[in-house]
Structure 1
Amino acid sequence: MGDILAADGTTLIKSSNDPDFNGVISDGGTGFYLYTNWEDRPGSMSRMNLSNLGAGETGYQNISLEGMLDFSSVDGTWVNCFGTVSPWGTPLTAEELYFDDTADWFDESYQYFSNPQSLAQYLGYPTDGSGAWPNPYKYGYIVEVGTSSTAADPALANVELNKLELQGRFSHENSVVMPDQKTVFLSDDGTGVVFFKFVADAAGDMSSGTLYAAKVTQTNGVSDPSEAAFAIEWIELAHGAEADIEAAIAEYDAGTLASPSYITDQQINDWAEAKLSQDLDGSGSVAADPFTDDRPAFLESRKAAVALGATGEFRKMEGVVINYGLADNWWNAGAADGDQAYMYMAMSSFDKTMADDEGDIQLDGTHGPCGVVYRMTLKENAGNVDVDTMVPAIVGGPYYSDRDVNECSVNNISNPDNLAVMDDGRLLIGEDTGNHENNVIWVYEDPAL
């Protein structure tokens, strides 16, 4: 477990010690399959079967480690971070792409150049860049593991893999599918990042649909992070079909260090100008669209979103989750406990781009290094699930910059990361922090329940 092999299936690249997300899929019998992300470069995922729960507290009698998934069919995967399980029973693992500028993928002087080098090693390319080089547009997506019929297939080799390019390319932390089985909300981990939404054309089919990005408006005159809410307007980036975007990605297969191939900032600007019929760069004219498709929306999603007016100021956006049972009950049954159908999102920090004096978000960042968790009430919009407001549920801190340890108060959360909503609506908050001497998991009883 944790051994990451090259695409040849035999060469050991590394033994990872960085597990992250766990997803559980029923095996149709007495147990389940446990899928575990390995947040590394290249990334991977393991699977084991647990069954035959013993009486009392004796635990599962049968535990079978099936091994690591083979991602070679999608040219490998990258920094498998958090994830969720889809309503149709497939793990959705998130590739957390750290390259804000795709040009850095081909820059030997870039501080994280060893990362694409590791993918070159995985693919069997020369790691000195003297030959073929990994296509940057093959990484940075939500990856669906299996189908509704194969995710729990007892033969590991039958687990199919599909990168969901239509849900955008960025530093994915997590995606969560709503009970309409069309709407997907997606978090973006980094500094100066974007909140995304994807709406599929048909329920349960992610192969075509529309990608959106959030434009937020902060509560007027309120900078206190415990009181400042954000109204959300969704800006449409583009509609697309998976086959078309995958064809566009293939156009960049030939890029090498000597001859890089990627979408330039100028091309993104020109695409946005043509889409908006507006001069964005002050050139004095509106540029012609350099593409016959909307590839910037799906392959350079963050830059494309900001160019079209979305808010690109969020900081360390982490897990975004619902309790699917509560949300499904609200959506399909309209039960009284539907008011517990909240979606939560963690921001590990709310300093820097969320706490400057520019743009849409201008919070007081005094305690920003300790983070915040936001609550969003699920709503119906034109037959789909939606959210239109982000409200602070719990804010970390106070932050003590002069301390050597426990810079964030130990009586409160610090750098919230993975989240899970329990069946009674209470929220589990997992820390990923250096501001507490020990990371802990909190149970949050939201007063909104």
Structure 2
Amino acid sequence: MKLRKRISARWIAPVLGLALVIPSVLPVPVSAASLKASVQSVEFVGMPAPATTQDMAKIYSSASLKVTYSDNSVKLFPLSYTTMFKTTDSIGGTIAGVSVDAKGKPILDTSVPNDPKPFVSDGPDANSLFQVQGAAATGLGGNPLSMVTHYEYITTNNAGKSAYGLIPASMSYTTIDQNKTTGELHPVTLSKIDFSSVDGLWIPCNGSLSPWNTHLGSEEYEPDARAFEADPKQTYVNPFVQSYYQDPTKVGNPYSYNYIVEVTAHPDNSTSVVKHYSMGRFSHELSKVAPDQKTVYFGDDGGNTMLFMYVADQAKNLSAGTLYAGKWIQKSADNGGSADLQWFKLGHATDNEVKSYIDKGVKFSDLFQSSEKAADGYTAIKSYPTGKVEYLKVKSGMEQAAAFLESRRYGAILGATAEFNKMEGVALNAKDKKLYVAMSYVEKAMEKDTKGTDPSDDIQVNKLSAGVTYEVSLTDGQKDRDGQAINSQYVPTFMKGLVWGEDLSAADSKGNSAAEDKVANPDNLSYSESLRTLFIGEDSGKHVNNFVWAYNTDTKKLSRILTTPAGAEATGLQAVDNLNGFSYIMSNLQHPGDEMIVAESLKPEVEKYINQNFDNKKAGMVGYISGLPSLQQLEQAAPSITPDTTLIPLRETAQAAGAKVVWHGIKKEIVISYHSHTLKVLVGSMIADIDGTMVDLPAQTVLKNGKVVFSASVLHNFLSMN
């Protein structure tokens, strides 16, 4: 056999439950005495819900990761929460959550006479933690990383009045030093991302990291263009643009907002942004890109919302593509129900084509004719944001503009389902071709229309106010409603409830109106391919404390791994499987103490501690769950084992497994072919050739009683290879 790369036999041991990657640079062979056990499985060990008023007023984790090795030994890795910064903190001279105008200057809150202060958000949401190739060193000795963070809105002004939607939102770009030994993340500088080239940023909710390492942000809760045209005061559009441009005479355009925003970070720590108008206008919770790098799925938050899919013309380029809307064809009603999915093609467009309609000043009445009652040629629909029945007809020649500026209304006219309620985060399991969708409250339009007054009633599932996380099957070779092929291998075709909560008939002693040990009102979702785990963050009006959960998609085990202070939402969820050998679960909290449902007997103390911990409810928090072991840490923690020197008949065992066996008598070499893999070994040798890699054997291959006997452990591992 020709000598090639050479490794110890322990490196081909199968890893079950955790897809650890063999390093690209193979290790030098080790002695038998230093062999270690392999990872057999991993699972999260959950934590109890907070029991004291102090714990109910803070964010923490007391969960752990349980690792079982091949020798049946078990090790626990404790988890904890690490705060990176509060939204009120200054990082490198910039307040993290400060709201800025079109010139990048802080927007001042003048609601309290003679005491102007900058508006600072308490609502951090999405995180994208990533590494920019070629980025300069931080000066602190660690690896340079980057993070984009959303600040969704300003809850109140200094006078205590609501400021929601009135003040421009923002994103920050943080440069981070990653400790090369511990993996700890330390923010070094923070700057506000400039959105002046795209008319500002409207209510950015969740977001995701694209496969090509850009941040995909969102703009949620679109202003109703029909209402704006009738009376601009019915929307936030004009106050928003007047604040952003610091011009009290400025008039806005609702069609300028509610798209997916892509942020690209550059090695010099500058950023550039683009709004993808061709991805449709609706209440974007976030977007998630499939492995083909062109199919995109969305959350559409609000009542009477819609399931959308976008297929880009080219991979890694979201500036042109086809937009689809889904129809729910119900199969069952319990636990969120289940349904086949059918897709309507809304249209094809480029960003520039859609933007041209906006630049021309197209209004709602330019797109649709409307009637106050049923009439020939008009379609009755009911959708967000009105929640009322409308009778509409698309004007001739305006189909493309309607499809991309009024995606939900246009989709409803075609027959797509506009009955989803509080559709929040989405996450993707690439290996199993599964999409996960959070429906925070399964109620209202998702229930059967018992009055018979709605234009359609596709969804008729049983009410579950605690919400459901759905699993969606992705399939190749699909056609749309008109029989045209959909150019994607990842088309959603079947949707069913996967994880659901439990409504209580009466609140418990803490104030929970949903079962505390089940998920209530799922919102943020993120999936770890390596851990085979779906992470679920709550935005619950039914749990006193919102939690982050880990759901193993193989074992179906659900574990609570983080708790946030009462009244706060768990946001910014991002599972980071491997950044320079370290893993993280990014997780923020926003608006602590807001609209608490804690029992009245506990409320005064909980509120006192929240005020102490979060600047009198003015500060949100950005951070992560730390303590997840890296690949190297798992290996280092593995117990040493005595090599298995058991020998078994090579030919008989391999053939019984379906392998092909060839004996070369002159060389005394035996060759095993199994699936796409090949094992070669010489009688008398202590090494074997597996797919061109030389593997040290724990025992010599010998000829005994006319049979070649070979290492049992190595052969079984070879026959386990896919």
Q: Does 1:85 align with 2:209?
A: yes
Could you tell me how far 1:265 is from its partner in structure 2? 9.0
Q: Secondary structure at the match of 1:303?
A: helix
1:380 aligns with 2:492: no
Partner-residue secondary structure (3-state), 2:190:
strand
Residue of structure 2 in register with 1:65 after alignment: 189
CA deviations over 1:366-389 (Å, ceiling 9, x no partner) = xx2211000012222355321101
Pick the aligned partner of 1:352 from 444, 454, 457: 444
Change in CA separation of 1:262 and 1:373 when aligned onto 2, cut-off 3 Å: same
What is the identity, as a one-letter code, of the residue corresponding to 1:250?
Answer: D
Q: Deviations over 1:309-337 (max 9, x none)?
A: 000000000001114xxx2xxxxxxxxxx
- Report whether the alignment pairs 1:308 with 2:414: yes
Aligned residue type for 1:45: M
Paired residue for 1:415, among 521, 527, 539?
521
Q: Partner of 2:145 in structure 1? A: 32
Mapped pair 1:96 → 2:232 = no
**Contact 2:150 2:172 (C-alpha < 8 Å) held by counterparts:** yes
- In structure 2, the residue matched to 1:399 is 504
Equivalent in 390, 394, 398 of residue 495 of structure 2: 390
Distance 1:36 1:27, change over 3 A: same
Partner of 2:535: 428
Q: Deviations over 1:275-325 (max 9, x none)?
A: xxx93349xxx97844356101100111111011000000000001114xx
CA separation in 2, counterparts of 1:409 and 1:263?
Answer: 44
Match of 1:6 in 2: 101
How many Å apart are 1:392 and its aligned residue? 0.7
Contact 1:269-1:307 within 8 A present in 2 as well: no
Counterpart in 1 of 2:368?
A: 267
1:20 paired to 2:125: yes
Aligned residues: 398
Superposition deviation, residue 229 in structure 1: 0.7
Distance 1:264 1:401, change over 3 A: farther
Residue 31 of structure 1 aligns to a residue whose secondary structure is strand
In the alignment, residue 193 of structure 2 is paired with which amino acid? L
Q: Can you give the 5+ residue segments of structure 1 that lack an aligned partner in the other structure?
A: 253-260, 271-277, 328-337
Paired position in structure 2 for 1:343: 435
Q: Which has the larger radius of gyration?
A: 2
Residue of structure 1 in register with 2:303 after alignment: 191
From 139, 143, 151, the equivalent of 2:257 is 139
Query: Aligned to 2:476, what secondary structure does the other structure show?
Result: strand
Q: CA deviation at 1:109?
A: 5.2
Q: Give 3-state SS (helix, strand or coil) of 2:242's partner.
A: helix
Q: What is the aligned partner in structure 2 of residue 332 from structure 1?
A: none
AA of the residue aligned to 2:267: D
Q: Which amino acid aligns with 1:195?
A: L
* SS of equivalent residue, structure 2 residue 545: coil
Shift of the 262–202 alpha-carbon distance from structure 1 to 2, 3 Å rule, reads same
Aligned partner of residue 322 in structure 1, secondary structure: strand
**Percent same amino acid among aligned pairs?**
34
CA apart distance, 1:356: 3.1
- Residue 231 of structure 1, CA deviation: 0.6
Residues 294 and 316, structure 2, Cα contact 8 Å, conserved in 1 = yes
DSSP 3-state at the match of 2:181: coil
In structure 2, the gaps of 5 or more residues are 1-95, 109-118, 136-142, 154-164, 381-391, 450-455, 478-486, 557-722
Letter in 2 for 1:377: S
Query: Residue 125 of structure 1: CA displacement?
Result: 2.9
Pick from 378, 382, 400: which aligns with 1:280? 378
Secondary structure at the residue paired with 1:27? coil
CA pair 401-168 structure 1, distance change in 2 beyond 3 A: farther
Alignment CA distance shift 1:288-1:421 (3 Å): closer
| Structure 1 residue 250 corresponds to structure 2 residue 359 | yes
TM-score by length of 2: 0.52
- The code of the aligned residue for 2:246 comes to G
Distance 2:468 2:225 in 1: 27
- Tell me, yes or no, if the aligned pair for 1:370 and 1:435 is still in contact at 8 Å: yes
Does the Cα contact within 8 Å between 1:413 and 1:442 map onto a contact in 2? yes
The alignment's C-alpha RMSD in Å is: 2.5
- What is the distance in 2 between the residues matched to 1:317 and 1:434? 15
Following superposition, the deviation at residue 95 of structure 1 comes to: 0.4
Contact 2:474 2:489 in 1 (8 A): no
Q: In the alignment, which of 209, 214, 237 is matched to residue 346 of structure 2?
A: 237
Whole-Å separation in 1 of the counterparts to 2:172 and 2:548: 23
1:236 Cα deviation after fit: 0.4
Residue 465 of structure 2: SS of its match in structure 1? helix
Task: Describe the SS at the equivalent of 2:173.
Answer: strand
Residue type of the alignment partner of 2:522: P
| Equivalence map 1:90-169=2 (5 Å) | 90-100=214-224, 102-104=226-228, 107=231, 110=234, 113-114=235-236, 116-126=238-248, 131-146=249-264, 151-156=265-270, 159-169=271-281
In the other structure, the counterpart of 1:438 is 545
Contact residue 31 and residue 53 of structure 1 kept, 8 A: no
Give the drift of 1:443: 0.8
CA distance in 1, matches of 2:398, 2:226: 21
Question: 5 Å matches for 1:313-328?
Answer: 313-323=419-429, 327=430
Select which of 329, 334, 353 maps to 1:224: 334
- Do 1:375 and 1:391's aligned partners in 2 also have CA atoms closer than 8 Å? yes
Letter matched to residue 137 of structure 1: Y
2:252, 2:500 → 1: CA distance?
41
Structure 1 CA distance for aligned equivalents of residues 329 and 489 of structure 2: 22
Taking the aligned partners of 1:27 and 1:69, their CA distance within structure 2 comes to 16
Distance in structure 1 (CA, Å) of the matches to 2:413 and 2:281: 15
Shift of 1:266: 7.1
Specify the alignment match of 2:715 in structure 1.
Answer: none
Q: What is the Cα deviation at residue 115 of structure 1?
A: 5.7
In structure 2, the partner of 1:53 is 179
Q: Helix, strand or coil: the match of 2:355?
A: helix
Q: Residue 80 of structure 1: SS of its match in structure 2?
A: coil
Q: Do the aligned residues in 1 keep the contact of 2:221 with 2:302 (CA within 8 Å)?
A: no
Residue identity matched to 2:223: F
Runs of 4+ aligned residues of structure 1 deviating over 6 Å after TM superposition are none
CA distance in 1, matches of 2:379, 2:468: 35
Larger RCO, structure (CA 8 Å, separation 6 or more): 2
Q: Offset of 1:400 from its aligned partner?
A: 3.0
Letter matched to residue 225 of structure 1 = N
- Contact 2:310/2:324 (8 A) holds in 1: yes
> Residue 98 of structure 1: CA displacement?
4.0
Matched to 2:268, the amino acid is: P
Q: Is the 8 A contact 2:289 2:297 kept in 1?
A: yes
Give the distance between the partners of 1:204 and 1:166, measured in 2 at CA.
14
Equivalent AA in structure 2 for residue 223 of structure 1: A
Q: Is the 8 A contact 1:213 1:305 kept in 2?
A: yes
Distance 1:84 1:407, change over 3 A: same
Query: Is the 1:268–1:296 Cα contact (8 Å) retained in structure 2?
Result: no
CA contact (8 A) 1:182 1:384 kept: no
Asked whether the 8 Å contact 1:95–1:141 carries over to 2, the reply is: yes
- Counterpart amino acid of residue 533 in structure 2: R
| 1:98–1:137 CA distance, 2 compared to 1 (3 A) | closer
Q: Counterpart of 1:144 in structure 2: which amino acid?
A: E
Contact 2:238–2:250, Cα closer than 8 Å, also in 1: no
